[in-house]
Amino acid sequence: MNTLLNYLIETNIGLLLFFVVYKIWLNNETQFAYRRYYLLSSMLLSLVFPLIKLPELKVVPSLGEAIPLNIDTEKIPSVISSTAPTFSYSTLFTAGYLFVTGFFLIRLSYRIIRLLVLAYKIKPGNVIEVHDPRFIAFSFFNKIFISTACPLSEPDRHSILKHEAIHGQKLHSLDILLAEIIHAVFWFNPVLPLYKKELRLVHEFEADEGTVKNREADTYCNLLARAALQSAGYSVGNYFNNALTLKRIAMIRTIKKSIHTWKIALVFLFTTGLFTIVSCREQLLEEVEQVAETTTIAGDFPDHLKAHVNRIIRENPGIKLMYVEAESINAEKIKSLNKEDIMFSHYEKNYAQDGSLQSERVGLIVRTGGTITSLAEATKSEDEVFLVAEEPASPLIGITGFYEAILKELTYPAEAKQKGIEGKVFVEFIVERDGTLSNYRLLRGISPDCDEEAVRSIKATNLRWNPAKQRGVPVRSKFVMPIIFRSDNNR
């Protein structure tokens, strides 16, 4: 899945869950500072959590490297192939998303500049009088705008100025600016307008609480009731006359009490749990993507394992299987992913000339539909290429026939053989929906000539494949062919 899309999805889920917790446990609390900081923290943590990784948290084991195909042949010139980039819908998605985000950010910037121009164009000072019937008063940081179009008595004017001054002292405009920026970036999130509404309401509660400390509550409530509920023209300010007046009056008359400790504990536990889930999910996707870079997963089986495949099918009617090749050192890690899905394992050892163990490989017959294939949708790339599919791709002539076809084309570059260069080369290609191969790419190599020869020989086979299928529909899928170059002396 596209990294940007992953981030956007996880961030929006976090925003939604944090807000649900707020409405359930904190919506009626009278500790306004706590509510304010929770809303701000929720927005910021939702942005940060998807970016944090827990490298030492081993929730999902790595599958490790794939088993190579052993080769030892004669010299032939070779040139590595190249592929043209393919069109990706993610490019269109990213461009469209950035365009809309840019529009909202520019619009927000225009509103802020408009306020600043209004503040410094009229006269210097923190209290600015304007003749505008759309509002009674509002503040932007330490600037208080009060309308001369609405006649006010001196006590009422004093209360309003004090109210707006508290907004400035508590930096409420900074909260609103942060919320507006986040909303501009996540403009498609339906929860963010609710965050902004709640944040403004909490701001008003805080300012009202500070204003009525030394003033009769009934008098102040009457002032609120007489304030015109009109729409505002400057959405990034804090407004004295807004449509939340009834809630403000009710909260002024509410007896204030401390928040329960158990609620704070629950919020902490929820935050910790959400962080762990998001971080583990990121680790899971990274592990699977690393696996896909060096692991061979096929729908066909080598000839020497077909007897075991037939036995498993007889014992488990209707079962669907896939073949996975990997280094034996990672066999237990693969099995620990879900031991019940590993139906059979076969080990083969290769020794060097001095008798030391050079490599040990394992072939695994794995049940499809289990843990491995359940990751198919999660690991799909932005250009609709599957790393793991429910029905893996396989050569029409079988995996053994594909190996033999590569051996017919493949030679050991003379210079590499003379210098004693040995090792593994991993080549990736895409099996298209029609069974053709494309996008040959070197993933890991040992030398330029060996790398080029490995890619060239696989491309030269020019064989058709059975395409991978997801939910019964042919899909594009990646396949990794690992090869070992080893001299005769090390057979």
**Residue 223 confidence (pLDDT):** 74
Q: Are residues 12 and 107 in the same domain?
A: yes
Distance CA 357, CA 367 (A): 30
User: Quick check: 366 and 372 in contact, CB under 8 A?
Assistant: yes
**Residue 380 confidence (pLDDT):** 56
- Residue where a domain stops, chosen among 274, 308, 342: 274
Q: Which of 346, 298, 343 is nearest to 316 (CA)?
A: 343
Strand order in the sheet with 296-298: 296-298, 321-327, 357-367, 342-351
Assess if residue 81 is contained within a domain. Answer: yes
Q: Are residues 364 and 456 in the same domain?
A: yes
Give the residue carrying structure tokens 């504990």.
265
User: Quick check: 111 and 20 in contact, CB under 8 A?
Assistant: no
**Residue 318 confidence (pLDDT):** 82
Distance CA 48, CA 275 (A): 9
Name 236's Cβ contacts closer than 8 Å, sequence gap at least 6: 108, 111, 112, 115, 140, 173, 176, 177, 180
Q: What is the pTM of this model?
A: 0.53
Q: Which of 127, 167, 117, 165 is nearest to 147 (CA)?
A: 127
Name 59's Cβ contacts closer than 8 Å, sequence gap at least 6: 280, 283, 284
Assess if residue 304 is contained within a domain. Answer: yes
Helix or strand holding residue 267 (H, E): helix 261-294
Assess if residue 264 is contained within a domain. Answer: yes
Q: Are residues 126 and 9 in the same domain?
A: yes
Q: Give the residues across from 145 on adjacent strands.
A: 128, 138
When divided into structural domains, the chain yields a total of 2
**Residue 151 confidence (pLDDT):** 79
Alpha helices in 22-144 (DSSP H): 32-48, 89-122
DSSP letters for 125-183: SSEEEE--TT-SEEEETTEEEEESSS---HHHHHHHHHHHHHHHHTTHHHHHHHHHHHH
Assess if residue 290 is contained within a domain. Answer: no
Q: Are residues 341 and 256 in the same domain?
A: no
Helix or strand holding residue 438 (H, E): strand 437-444
Count of Cβ atoms closer than 10 Å to residue 87 Cβ: 8
Q: Each residue of 231-248: b (16+ CB within 10 Å) or e?
A: eeebebbbbbbbebbeeb
Q: Are residues 196 and 316 in the same domain?
A: no
**Residue 57 confidence (pLDDT):** 37
Q: Are residues 80 and 99 in the same domain?
A: no
Q: How, if at all, do strands 473-485 and 69-71 pair?
A: parallel
Q: Rounded to the nearest 5 degrees, what angle is found at the Cα of 156, between the Cα atoms of 154 and 158? A: 70
**Residue 233 confidence (pLDDT):** 45
Q: Which of 71, 238, 262 is nearest to 139 (CA)?
A: 238
Q: Are residues 261 and 329 in the same domain?
A: no
Q: Are residues 370 and 381 in the same domain?
A: yes
Assess if residue 63 is contained within a domain. Answer: no
User: What six digits make up the tokens of 78?
Assistant: 């070779």
**Residue 74 confidence (pLDDT):** 34
DSSP state of 435: S
**Residue 67 confidence (pLDDT):** 29
Q: Are residues 370 and 254 in the same domain?
A: no
Tell me phi and psi for residue 325, to 5 degrees: -110, 135
Assess if residue 338 is contained within a domain. Answer: yes
Domain that holds residue 234: 3-52+88-274
Which residues, given as ranges, of the chain have pLDDT below 50? 1, 55-87, 228-236, 241, 243, 288, 291-295, 378, 489-491
Distance CA 290, CA 284 (A): 10
Q: Which of 160, 147, 140 is nearest to 208 (CA)?
A: 160
**Residue 328 confidence (pLDDT):** 53
Q: How, if at all, do strands 321-327 and 296-298 pair?
A: antiparallel
User: What six digits make up the tokens of 303?
Assistant: 């000839």
Q: Are residues 214 and 245 in the same domain?
A: yes
List, for residues 275-297, the tens digit of each pLDDT value. 666 555 555 555 545 544 444 55
Q: How, if at all, do strands 143-147 and 127-130 pair?
A: parallel
Assess if residue 279 is contained within a domain. Answer: no
List, for residues 57-110, the tens digit of each pLDDT value. 333 333 233 323 333 333 322 333 333 444 456 678 788 888 999 999 999 999
What is the Cα 194 distance to its own chain's centre?
23
Q: Are residues 149 and 29 in the same domain?
A: yes
Count of Cβ atoms closer than 10 Å to residue 282 Cβ: 19
Q: Are residues 412 and 323 in the same domain?
A: yes
**Residue 174 confidence (pLDDT):** 92
Rg (alpha carbons) of the chain, rounded to whole number: 33
What is the Cα 393 distance to its own chain's centre?
27
Assess if residue 59 is contained within a domain. Answer: no
The conformational region for residue 435 under phi > 0 = left, psi -120 to 50 = alpha, else beta, is left
